[in-house]
């Protein structure tokens, strides 16, 4: 769509991941009032993604409703003028305040500038990533199931074990909450790690079947939904109820494929949009411990290996922001479980061969450093390395009874 300044300021979100409700545009003062479109999510959440035209040479003030955080710690992600490169409004790492407004000056001739709460990631990004891997016989793209609305495929990538038979099953999933884009390049990094010509990559390909589901809520990703807090519950509270097709298909697949094997199950997420005084971990990398003492001991070994592998990386991870069982947000998860709202990790931990099952969270813009896709892929490669080292460090054993 081309811009014509005579038409004034225009805002659109008619593309994968797009989401906005425009409340008002004050042409004269240059004030634009917008809000996320909540659709079928309850309460308030913060996913929005829109493109502005007709504002070349102007400075605009974008304002969201009061009373909630709508901007990440570094402000909006910006892609100026229909280009390819995304950056943060505060790429220097300076914290953006307030959390519900920002100003932006459009250069003369700048048009079709896209703003989003996070750096977007949808199917076309995954397709480009798969294409970047080239043709390899050990990379098997496929389909987990049709999407919830039946309009699309929910992708499943397999990297089958080269040796036979595999004694391990590694499962990595993302976007159970469709808005959580920072998890996606981390997942790419995990795939890169599994395919790498490194000791860890070679071990994984020789000992494990690897399954990757990049978009558990596929329709939500493409439609630009919040995904979080869907009514009556979202994908990551669906592992008892089985309301969603992808959850049912994943449970069947992993339940069968993990039989007689040791299972590693990692569910990748993004946390709240920015840190707050009582939850500093939201601008970091963190994962969750387990109420099961054996699984918790394995998780502790894993986080130590991850911190070792990530040392010197662009995004800091040293385990200090991890949430132990019964603490912080894990209390809410336990309460949800008591009400029958089972998460993916809760479910995976019930499987007989479960060795390690956790949720990993990756801050949107500050993530132990300034978030970029390159840095997130590095984090993912090191995550895979840590899983491999945890798996090979000690023989698996059942808890003493």
Looking at 94-102, 109-117, 267-275, 307-315, which segment touches Zn ion (CB under 5 A)?
267-275
Give the contacts of 371 (CB within 8 A, at least 6 positions apart).
88, 119, 182, 315, 362, 363, 364, 365
| For Zn ion, the closer CB: 187 or 195 | 187
Minimum distance of Zn ion from residue 97's CB (angstroms): 25
Minimum distance of Zn ion from residue 198's CB (angstroms): 29
- As beta bridge partners, residue 250 has none
Minimum distance of Zn ion from residue 268's CB (angstroms): 9
| For Zn ion, the closer CB: 270 or 382 | 270
| For Zn ion, the closer CB: 203 or 329 | 329
Locate all alpha helices (DSSP H) within 258-357, ordered by sequence. Answer: 293-310, 329-338, 344-348
Cα–Cα dist 37/193, whole Å: 36
Instruction: Look at the block and give the residue holding tokens 């130590």.
Output: 304
Size of the site for Zn ion (CB under 5 A): 3
Instruction: Look at the block and give the residue holding tokens 């009556």.
Output: 232
Minimum distance of Zn ion from residue 18's CB (angstroms): 20
Cis peptide, bond prior to residue 16, ω within 30 of zero: no
Looking at 2-10, 15-23, 52-60, 179-187, which segment touches Zn ion (CB under 5 A)?
179-187
Looking at 16-24, 71-79, 216-224, 264-272, which segment touches Zn ion (CB under 5 A)?
264-272
| For Zn ion, the closer CB: 90 or 269 | 269
Using CB under 5 A, pick the residue from 90, 114, 269, 345 that binds Zn ion: 269
CA dist list (Å): 320 to 66, 266, 292, 335, 368: 32, 19, 20, 24, 11
- String of DSSP letters for 74-138: T--EEEGGG-S--EETTTT-PPPS-TTEEEEEPPTT--SEEEESS----HHHHHHHHHHT-S-TT
Using CB under 5 A, pick the residue from 79, 90, 177, 233 that binds Zn ion: 177
Minimum distance of Zn ion from residue 191's CB (angstroms): 20
Of all residues in the shown chain, the one whose CB is closest to Zn ion is 269
**Structure-block tokens of residue 126:** 């995954």
Nearest to 162 by CA among 122, 103, 116, 208: 208
Cα–Cα dist 222/123, whole Å: 7
Is residue 237 near Zn ion by the rule CB under 5 A?
no
| For Zn ion, the closer CB: 290 or 390 | 290
Which residues are near Zn ion by CB under 5 A? 177, 180, 269
């Amino acid at each position: 769509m081309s811009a014509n300044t005579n038409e004034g300021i225009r805002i659109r979100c008619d593309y994968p991941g797009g989401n906005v409700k425009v409340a008002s545009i004050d042409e004269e003062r240059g004030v634009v009032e917008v809000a996320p479109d909540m659709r079928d999510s309850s309460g308030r959440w913060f996913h929005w993604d829109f493109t502005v035209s007709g504002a070349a040479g102007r400075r605009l003030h974008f304002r969201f409703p009061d009373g909630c955080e709508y901007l990440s710690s570094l402000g909006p992600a910006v892609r100026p003028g229909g280009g390819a490169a995304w950056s943060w409004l505060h790429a220097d790492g300076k914290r953006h305040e307030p959390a519900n407004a920002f100003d932006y000056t459009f250069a003369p001739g700048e048009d079709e500038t896209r703003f989003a709460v996070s750096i977007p990631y949808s199917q076309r990004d995954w397709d480009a990533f798969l294409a970047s891997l080239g043709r390899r016989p050990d990379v098997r793209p496929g389909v987990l199931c049709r999407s919830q609305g039946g309009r699309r495929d929910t992708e499943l990538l397999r990297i089958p074990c080269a040796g036979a038979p595999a004694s391990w099953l590694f499962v990595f999933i993302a976007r159970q909450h469709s808005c959580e884009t920072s998890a996606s390049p981390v997942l790419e990094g995990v795939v890169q790690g599994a395919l790498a010509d490194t000791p860890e990559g070679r071990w994984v390909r020789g000992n494990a079947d690897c399954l990757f589901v990049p978009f558990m809520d596929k329709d939500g990703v493409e439609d630009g939904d919040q995904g979080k807090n869907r009514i009556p519950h979202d994908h990551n509270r669906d592992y008892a109820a089985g309301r969603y097709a992808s959850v049912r298909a994943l449970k069947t697949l992993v339940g069968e494929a993990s039989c007689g094997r040791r299972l590693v199950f990692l569910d990748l997420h993004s946390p709240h949009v920015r840190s707050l005084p009582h939850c500093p971990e939201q601008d970091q990398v963190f994962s969750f411990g387990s109420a099961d003492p054996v699984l918790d001991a394995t998780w502790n070994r894993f986080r130590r290996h991850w911190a070792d592998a990530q040392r010197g990386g662009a995004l800091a991870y040293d385990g200090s922001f991890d949430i132990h069982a019964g603490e912080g947000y894990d209390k809410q998860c336990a309460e949800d479980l008591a009400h029958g709202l089972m998460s993916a990790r809760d479910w995976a931990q019930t499987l007989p061969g479960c060795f390690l099952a956790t949720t990993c969270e990756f801050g949107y813009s500050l993530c132990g450093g300034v978030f970029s896709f390159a840095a997130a892929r590095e984090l993912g490669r090191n995550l895979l390395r840590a899983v491999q080292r945890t798996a090979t460090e000690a023989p698996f054993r059942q808890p003493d009874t």
